[in-house]
Structure 1
């Protein structure tokens, strides 16, 4: 009888533990975007919700109390303050300081760069016929962005600024020649604050370098990392990841004529060795072959 009683007690507490774990509320805080209508944040938030829904956990997903730009958000995440998940482009340093969930959430589109240009300088781009011609022009980029080092390693003389908003301001003032922005960023940014009245998207070219935008968590939060990765993998397997990606990006891919552009491919010396480049499920592949550097 004693042994049976012990088994019953153990079984009871296992059930209680399982029930309480499922009922526990996970509070997951991401960086508050610059404004509530920031279209660039809509897809990462939607995909994070999808992944969490796939796990069946009870969660609350909410923005941080204050606006956090990426560099500040990454520092706060490292210190376990204000946020516990951030999405950003990866590099080796970020993967040392934080824990990446190595599923490229935008299927590599973060590395496909189109050019915001000032109308007054459009003629300069009409004369570009090679990567060598493009290297003669000056791109604007953020001071702490991995993109800056990638462009510099390829030979570009980069004009750096503290934030993307300042890059657009300078471009509108005629400073620098172009601002390379990812396919997932450039359309909503150009429409913001009337920039399209002065600027336009260069229609013929693009840059590409292999990179990924991941969800990152603190190195001390393996449990949350496992939770998000489990949800993403389930969404990949059942097709809902691809369905969300297609619904979000296919229209802009068509509108920007990605398949028709001449794409100059750059090396990425910052690409971490564990980037899952060989898993074709995780990457968008343009139909036309990209031009090499």
Structure 2
């Protein structure tokens, strides 16, 4: 493996017009909604770790303006404002952009728990089968891959144009539940100033196989190799897993996925090259899966 890593490093050196020792990589990612939005903390920490593992000089900065995911992906495709974005993958995104196929959250983006209102909570206690859950309307963003996944599995999805609007739709009971990934939900409950009636449902979850990747512009092959080299080195020396568990171990304990009814959904958007067979890249928090 050492020879392979060395070979990749040589390729990177050859790709730098100014030379690896003098060049400084300027890497810009999408700025979050505000300083209280903590969802960027782990991806930025992992990006920093990967860059440190390569030994290159770099500047890692947020974009000048706030950029929601759909806008960030469009800007990345056009090679404007940002040059790296992290996002859940699907076939279209992998056609438009260049993915680094290492799931940065080890697949946890596909594990979903539910934000609901107290008024509707009793309906969820009666759910024992997937068909019961299909009678309820989940809330999702118009451009999110999750929306198509849920629709393909038979859900009548209530779509919203913006992330923030999903919370107001939930609070007004126009939709029944807002599925959130296990790596997002607690931070959102702390930072989104949720209406008092919005709570976390305690007994159910969804799972669909998917990954969140770092993406770069299709023309930026050298940066893709750089980031993959750093991530691979972090996996090999254990620092990737150390950061992952430091970030999410307590969250996973609190959510107790092993005690929930977990309904498995198919993901028709999952690209064929998703590295599902590489077990070191994934975390499996529960075996209590229901079809």
TM-score (norm 2): 0.93
- 1:149 corresponds to which residue? 148
Comparing 130-139 with 182-191, greater Cα deviation is found at 182-191
RMSD: 1.5
Aligned to 2:201: 202
- 1:62 corresponds to: 61
Equivalent residue number for residue 81 of structure 1 = 80
1:90–1:271 contact (8 Å) kept in structure 2: yes
What is the rounded CA distance, in whole Å, between the counterparts of 1:191 and 1:176 in structure 2?
A: 21
For 2:161 and 2:227, locate their aligned partners in 1 and report how far apart those are by CA, in whole Å: 31
Distance 2:253 2:102 in 1: 24
Distance in 1, Cα, partners of 2:17 & 2:46:
26
| Range with bigger deviation, 160-169 or 192-201 | 192-201
Query: Who is 2:10 aligned against?
Result: none
1:150-169 superposed matches below 5 A: 150-169=149-168
Q: 5+ unaligned residues in a row in structure 1: which ranges?
A: 1-13
Asked if the contact 1:260–1:288 (Cα under 8 Å) also holds between the matched residues in 2, the reply is no
CA distance, structure 2, for counterparts of residue 160 and residue 25 of structure 1: 42
Q: Secondary structure at the match of 2:167?
A: helix
CA contact (8 A) 1:117 1:200 kept: yes
Seen in structure 2, the aligned counterparts of structure 1 residues 157 and 56 have a Cα distance that, compared at 3 Å, is: same
- Looking at structure 2, the residues matched to 30 and 219 of structure 1 have their Cα atoms a distance apart, in angstroms, of 16
Separation in 1 of the partners of 2:53 and 2:193?
39
Q: Which structure 2 residue ranges, 5 or more long, are not aligned?
A: 1-12
- Tell me by how many angstroms 1:233 deviates: 0.2
Q: Hey, what's the Cα distance between the residues in 1 that align with 2:192 and 2:286?
A: 34
* Aligned 8 A contact 2:259 2:288 in 1: no
Please state how far the C-alpha of 1:259 moved relative to its aligned partner. 1.5
Aligned twin of 1:100: 99
Q: Which has the higher helix share?
A: 1
When Rg is computed on C-alpha atoms for both structures, the one with the higher figure is: 1
CA distance in 2, matches of 1:223, 1:244: 25
| Maintained 8 Å contact 1:208/1:266 | yes
